[in-house]
Structure 1
Amino acid sequence: MTTLGIDFTTLSVRGGADAVPVTDENDSETAGGCLCAPGTCCGATLVPAHVPQTSSTAAPPPELADGVKLPDNAAFRSLELPVYRFLRPARLLGFPDLAPTVVRLEPPVGAGARAAVPVDAVHPPPFVTPHWPHLVHRVPVLESRLLTAEDAPKRTYHFDLDVTAYPDEIDGVDFRVGGAVGICPPNDPALVQELLERLGVAGDADAPVDCVTEGGRWPTIWGEDRARRLRTTRRELVTWTVDLHGGILAKPLLRLLAEHTADPSERYILSWLCSKQGSARFCALRSAPYPPTLPQLLAAFPSSAPPLADVLALLPPLMPRFYSLSSDPTMTRDNKLRKVEIAVTVHETPEPWRTAPPYVRTGISSGFLERVARTFIARAKAGAAAPPLTVPLFRGLQANPLAKEFRPDGPMLLIGAGVGVAPFRGFVQRRLRNANCKNKVWVLQGCRDSLVDELYAGEWGVDDADIRKVIQSRKGTKKYVQDEVFNQADLVWSVISHPDGKVFVCGSSKGMGEGVEEALKKVAMASTGMSAEEATEFWDEKKRTWQYITETW
């Protein structure tokens, strides 16, 4: 078989009289195994994490023979491929076929053909729809402010959103305390432009095309599974329908990049990553804390320029993001105005391979909302009159565990760190409408430094000092919220022992969520003499009976 200009059936190791063909048995990259679980990325045997993996940082890269030259750019070096593998180009095994063509971008035909149209940068096209019965609405931003210090490790913004005109989609379904709204974010315009330029279609980005699909839900979110012909533009598709950050490293994508790579060396290296010999390194990249993104791969292999339609078919769809309400939505419902409030923490990922700042990328949704917030704040400072800013929102999840299990009475212990405390502010506001919260509601709030990143300080009502304790991990006693959970063992046990008592936990599952669960088990053991197994079963039973409710991510 000959493809990509390389004969993969006959190519063997070259480099001297002692050259031997590369096979499963003598190729150490294959023998090293895969870092993924069986049946995930390549189906190979799982290798323990402690097994050392070969990296290009182990030794200076030697001169490569037979014309295989390493790309000389920071993005390629950031992949840390074992460059000794390319000293003697080998016969590649297990090379995948190209994915079938299921998306086409065709010149517009019939009625509706139009001239170039700028993409709407703040609201998705009509065919991007969430699950029934919701539609995405333009919701005005009433207020936005930074809740943390500007130099906080994780910046968090507050938003007041005007839902006065939001329609009643289903009788009896409304915004609820503890519920979450959905945001349909766009990709960063700068990243979209970068991708269009690398694929050589920037000049036609705003020209109308017919997007033709063979089946599936894409480019909708939760539309029907069927074939489609939609009038759109290339920029609109890249902006609103595909995720340019997460879950993109897959062998079909690498195979596509290899097929459309002009440089023979780049083509061989991409092919090696697709092959059985490259499985261990492929799995290491895929399971890394920050897997390579499509822009990083295109920067690493600059001669690769696959057709945009084929790239779109292999990228994951751009899904909505959900944000818990940080207020009681019934408090602001009157005949004139209704609003909901959310808090958004900006997620940043380092991109040291970039040749110019910024050397980080933000999350798709949190980055979009930060751009909205910064624009709002700048306008407010300048006193500039401008059309109201909007965000693309739908009602989202109003039957999630936090919303379903909130009760207007009974003792509650609310445990959260970072932005995880946001929905608990709404809990406290609702309880204050009915009675004094003292001796009925307790909040354990974790942060790094109360002067830098304590959220909603002084905004919890008249009983703030009595119901809320802030635990700082970088200042003062330097404890984590899970440490305080064990210190408050008597309180924890009194709440969970009450017939109507509930313990809520919200925040990051890694670290905080896991730590709080372990602390709760220790509380049960210390309070009753349970064994570790009995304590685990105790809290599992409390989960089943909805006395212990977690919402972690």
Structure 2
Amino acid sequence: MNRVLSGEGSAKEIRHYEFDLGDSGITYAAGDALAVVPLNDPALVELLLARLGLDGDVDAGGASLRERMLREWEIATPSKDLIAALAERDPESELAAMVRREDRAAMDSWLWGRDTLDLLEASPDVRFSALELSELLRPLQARSYSISSSPLQSPDRIHLTVASVRHGRDREHGGVTSTYLADRLDAEQTVGIYLQPNNAFSVPEDGERPVVMIGPGTGIAPFRGFLHERAASGATGPNWLFFGDQHAASDFIYREELEAMQASGVLTRLDLAFSRDQVEKVYVQTRMREQGAELYSWLEQGGYLYVCGDATRMAKDVEHALHEIVQAHRGCSEAEADEYIAALKREKRYVRDVY
């Protein structure tokens, strides 16, 4: 299954996928991740072959050059070896100047949004042979995604919730695996997958414990699985989800499902934060602070707190809000709040799956 979850007018393209496990022998747990082995975009392969003036049908070590570029090599994200080779062969280029600066943060910022073809086109006189490419390009890597289903409800199919990565003006750039799944994988086609267990990120064995889940955007993925697991296992503990994105009208993914869980009592509380539906930005950490007393109460009752999503900003902002909540409602010092949260982590009652 491949269906779009985000609505008309959304700035994002979020899709729901279901993988039939068939006779693969794969078994999974809620909270695990699934690694997907992609193929590169054939259009990008042809553009690279044309730019380098190479014959895609030539043998490149047991397979044609075209096949190796499609299946074996990382051609979207430039490798360190390729960057070094380009800088050496075109020392007057902007890339070479960035390399000489030896500023990792500046380099990462400059490279953002640029793929291998962009770098090659910026140095039009540089050429590489098929053999050189095989030494300069990294092996194509699988991409991992949090599983958004529970084996108690879906033992034979694994669900994923994936944002399709697309950007660029003159030429569309796409996430290797997200666009492979969205655009180039037929419904009946076999795809390479393997499980990545995440034993640290799992629902409590004690079904009476309260569970708080914070997962904006596609961070909701494992928590959909958690809720299915809690429902199917007959867990009696309360479940609280903090979810948000940009606009409720277009970005409230799984809305009907979540509202049905709320109506049935599986989802005890649902706090929403749609940042751009009002003048003042509202985020999940905003809702946490608004409900700080209740959130602290759930932790004091032995509750578990889970966070999934962006590590760069969201997870840090959520942790900062959690420190403020503990300090305010425990009536303690900053150091004591730090120790309280450290204890939650040691007890595996505050767990994050961030990327």
TM superposition score normalised by structure 2: 0.88
Do residues 448 (structure 1) and 235 (structure 2) align? Answer: no
Aligned-residue offset at 1:259: 6.4
Aligned-residue offset at 1:416: 0.7
Pairing 1:147-546 to 2, within 5 Å after superposition: 147-167=5-25, 174-201=27-54, 203=55, 205-210=56-61, 231-246=62-77, 248=79, 250=80, 252-257=81-86, 267-270=90-93, 273=96, 278-279=100-101, 284-288=106-110, 290=112, 292-333=114-155, 338-350=156-168, 352=169, 354=170, 359-372=171-184, 388-394=188-194, 396-403=195-202, 408-435=207-234, 440-460=238-258, 461=261, 462-463=264-265, 466-476=268-278, 478-499=281-302, 501-546=303-348
Q: Distance in 2 between the 1:275 and 1:410 partners?
A: 52
Aligned-residue offset at 1:150: 4.3
Q: Distance in 2 between the 1:324 and 1:189 partners?
A: 27
Q: Distance in 2 between the 1:407 and 1:548 partners?
A: 15
For residues 286 and 343 of structure 1, do their structure 2 counterparts lie closer, same or farther at Cα, with a shift above 3 Å needed? closer
Aligned pairs, number: 350
Q: Is the 8 A contact 1:257 1:305 kept in 2?
A: no
Q: Is the 8 A contact 1:255 1:274 kept in 2?
A: no
Task: State the one-letter code of the partner of 1:269.
Answer: E
Q: Distance in 1 between the 2:208 and 2:58 partners?
A: 58
Task: State the one-letter code of the partner of 2:16.
Answer: H
Task: State the one-letter code of the partner of 1:511.
Answer: R
Structure number with larger C-alpha Rg = 1
Q: Is the 8 A contact 1:285 1:292 kept in 2?
A: no
Aligned-residue offset at 1:188: 1.1
Task: State the one-letter code of the partner of 2:230.
Answer: R
Q: Distance in 2 between the 1:398 and 1:254 partners?
A: 34
Q: Report the 3-state secondary structure (helix = DSSP H, G, I; strand = E; otherwise coil) of the residue aligned with 2:225.
A: helix
1:418-469: CA deviation from partner (whole Å, max 9, x where unpaired):
00011111111121124376x6111111111111011111213223774322
Aligned-residue offset at 1:293: 2.7
Instruction: Tell me the percent identity.
Output: 27
Q: Is the 8 A contact 2:238 2:267 kept in 1?
A: no
Q: Distance in 2 between the 1:541 and 1:321 partners?
A: 32
Aligned-residue offset at 1:546: 0.2
- Structure 2, unpaired ranges of 5+: none
RMSD of aligned residue pairs (Cα, Å): 2.7
For residues 256 and 435 of structure 1, do their structure 2 counterparts lie closer, same or farther at Cα, with a shift above 3 Å needed? closer
Task: State the one-letter code of the partner of 1:370.
Answer: A
For residues 435 and 523 of structure 1, do their structure 2 counterparts lie closer, same or farther at Cα, with a shift above 3 Å needed? same
Q: Report the 3-state secondary structure (helix = DSSP H, G, I; strand = E; otherwise coil) of the residue aligned with 2:319.
A: helix
Q: Is the 8 A contact 1:177 1:406 kept in 2?
A: no
Q: Is the 8 A contact 2:163 2:218 kept in 1?
A: yes
For residues 299 and 271 of structure 1, do their structure 2 counterparts lie closer, same or farther at Cα, with a shift above 3 Å needed? closer
Aligned-residue offset at 1:488: 1.3
Greater fraction of residues in helix: 2
Q: Report the 3-state secondary structure (helix = DSSP H, G, I; strand = E; otherwise coil) of the residue aligned with 2:11.
A: coil
Aligned-residue offset at 1:184: 0.7
1:234-256: CA deviation from partner (whole Å, max 9, x where unpaired):
122212222223353x4x53453
Q: Distance in 1 between the 2:208 and 2:196 partners?
A: 23
Q: Is the 8 A contact 1:402 1:551 kept in 2?
A: yes
Q: Distance in 1 between the 2:47 and 2:338 partners?
A: 50
Q: Is the 8 A contact 1:254 1:270 kept in 2?
A: no
Q: Is the 8 A contact 1:182 1:393 kept in 2?
A: yes
Q: Is the 8 A contact 1:372 1:389 kept in 2?
A: no
Match of 1:549 in 2: 351
For residues 233 and 426 of structure 1, do their structure 2 counterparts lie closer, same or farther at Cα, with a shift above 3 Å needed? same
